[in-house]
Amino acid sequence: MMNIAVAQSGGPTCAINASLVGVFCESLKVAEIDAIFGSINGIEGMIENHLVDLKTMILSNNDMDLLRQTPSTVLGSCRYKLPDWKEDPSDYEKIAETLKQRNIGAFLYIGGNDSMDTVNKLSEYFAEISLDVKVIGIPKTIDNDLCVTDHTPGFGSAAKYVATTMHEITRDSIVYSIPSVTIVEIMGRHAGWLTASSAVLHAMGETAPHLVYVPEVKFSLEGFLSDVRQEMSKHKAVIIAVSEGIEVPEGVQSGVVDNFGHKYLSGIGKYLEDVIRSQIGCKVRSIELNVMQRCSSHLGSKTDIDEAEAIGAAGVRCALAGQTGKVMVFRRIEDIPYTVTIETADASQIANKEKFLPKNYINSAGNNIRNFALSYFLPLIQGDLNLVKEHGIPKHFAIHESVLK
């Protein structure tokens, strides 16, 4: 008999708790697994031996249904990155102590590329000290920027939110008789996956978003203003999707920004709004989708949530099969009918690396997404959750805030 532990890390998504359910349910099925521990606040809980017995927390199928529709990380999260164990092994020693004391034979870490660095380092360290604990990474991030895997759990639901909301903003933008520009700022510091997903509206016959700017394309303010003027000649209400991570134009970092509106305070959407107001002079507004794009589980993609659960379960089987230092990944077999398999990759292939939008997804002008690329995005946003509601709004699974310290 052995116990296992699971932790959640990084920025919230709609799918991290579904992966926790996957780990939990699969572990329940396995005779040789006894306790299933949840580490509070990611790896910090492992260092501080702050774990909860998930069997005392998740008590019923109802609880699991609620967890599947609860956004964010029910066990808390962290942004803590372990130092190199060769330079400073103190965190690692504490983690090893927790694992030994609790008789934990496998540790599953649900997170992004920083967390996969933790998976990589821990597996190396355990090999060094000959501690037989398997370490497996379960991917998650709305940014979809993990290497090797076709996509990441959490991305599909975020993409569904972005597409649905862009659609509604498009309706909201077209009502007045005067020309206008609407800028929608979407998350993604280095990779444009989520911003690009707004282009699925084109599959519905919408002309919006008329312009899409992603960090993979060098941004030029002159080119931007020229693009906007051109689209304004074709459409009364121009809708623009812009990634928060597009490169800030020359001069913005030194003074100009103060005239246009504090970069730090207001982000790129507000900046571009001010540029259009001063340079074109038309009605213009900017909208930041903010944290809603990562936590709107009422719009969760069933495909995403189901896959998140399946990849969590696969992680448990992978650990039991004796693998370690691995990350579970999706391989896409077909777009139609949509088919994926779950495989493994070495954590070192994924840790600290980023996957960018393929160059051929972007049009030659660098300001929109090609239609053929939509077949990548569309399968990921399909299906809806059958939400449990209370008082007309989706119910959440919540542990008392005191448990999360």
Give contact residues for a second copy (rule: CB under 8 A).
Answer: 12, 41, 44, 70-73, 76-79, 160, 163-165, 167-169, 171-172, 174-177, 200, 203-204, 206-207, 235-237, 261-262, 265-266, 270, 274, 285, 287-292, 294-299, 301, 378, 381-384, 389-396, 398, 401, 404-405
**Residue 138 contacts residue 313 (beta carbons within 8 Å):** no
Helix/strand/coil for 281:
coil
Residue 292 burial (CB count, 10 A): 14
DSSP label at 49? T
Alpha helices in 198-298 (DSSP H): 221-232, 257-260, 263-279, 292-295
Using N-to-C axis directions, what is the helix angle for 61-68 and 16-29, rounded to 10°? 150
Q: Are 75 and 7 in contact (CB under 8 A)?
A: yes
Q: Is the peptide bond before 379 cis (omega within 30 degrees of 0)?
A: no
Residue nearer to a second copy on the CB measure, 174 or 256: 174
What is the closest distance, in whole angstroms, from the C-beta atom of residue 203 to a second copy in the complex? 5
Q: Smallest distance from the beta carbon of 318 to a second copy, in angstroms?
A: 26
- Both tokens of 356, joined, read 């960018």
Instruction: Sort strands 237-243 and 211-213 into parallel, antiparallel or unpaired.
Output: parallel
Of 206 and 346, the one with the shorter C-beta distance to a second copy is 206
Q: Starting at the edge strand that comes first in sequence, how are the strands of the sheet with 211-213 ordered? A: 211-213, 237-243, 180-186, 283-288
Q: Shortest Cβ distance from residue 149 to a second copy (Å)?
A: 21
- CB 67, min distance to a second copy, A: 11
Measured from the CB atom, the residue of 35 and 199 that comes closer to a second copy is 199
Residue type present at position 296: S
Q: Which is nearer to a second copy, 297 or 324 (CB)?
A: 297
Coil, strand, or helix at residue 136?
A: strand
Between residues 5 and 166, which has the closer beta carbon with respect to a second copy?
Answer: 166
Any residues with CB less than 8 A from the CB of 36 and at least 6 apart, and which? 3, 4, 5, 6, 23, 24, 27, 28, 53, 54, 55
- In whole angstroms, what is the distance from residue 17 CA to residue 312 CA? 10
The token duo for 106 is 């496998």
To a second copy, the closest distance from the beta carbon of 310 in angstroms equals 19
117, 143, 145, 304: the active-site residue: 143
143 classed as catalytic: yes
What amino acid positions are annotated as catalytic residues? 143
